[in-house]
Amino acid sequence: MKTMLLFIATTIILTFCGLLLYALDNGGAGQFQQTYSSFGATPPAISNWLFESAQYWWLGLQFCMAVGYAPLFLRGKYQYLSLVTSLICLVFLIGFIYGPMITMGNAI
């Protein structure tokens, strides 16, 4: 039962990761880059790489899924690492996308 609940929670988190990556592929990356350039801000290299490789969003999602679901095959308390790793993927993804906007507060 615990494994099933962890699987469902991990799936929900990874679905958000997939939606973010899919949105970047369907025009979101260009809109973010236009926003940065309109304020004269330059996003970090990792954000540029994420935006430029948005057409390969499914590879990023597969990586997040592999990292997120792998701990479910462990025994005991280590299964909870599936939530931690999938949340880390989501936080880093949001940080790479919205991080430059936080630093743009000085430019505005």
Other Cβ atoms closer than 10 A to 16: 15
Structure pTM?
0.76
| Domain that residue 66 falls in | 2-106
pLDDT on residue 96: 83
Mean pLDDT taken over the chain: 82
Do 80 and 61 touch, CB atoms closer than 8 A? no
pLDDT above 90 covers a percentage of the chain that reads: 1
Number of domains in the chain: 1
CA dist., res. 32 & res. 35, Å (int): 5
Q: For 75-86, write each residue's pLDDT tens digit.
A: 888 888 888 888
Output the DSSP codes for 71-92: GGGS-GGGGGHHHHHHHHHHHH
Question: Could you give the C-alpha distances from 71 to 76, 83, 91, 106, in angstroms and in order?
Answer: 10, 9, 18, 40
pLDDT confidence band for 105 (50 / 70 / 90): low
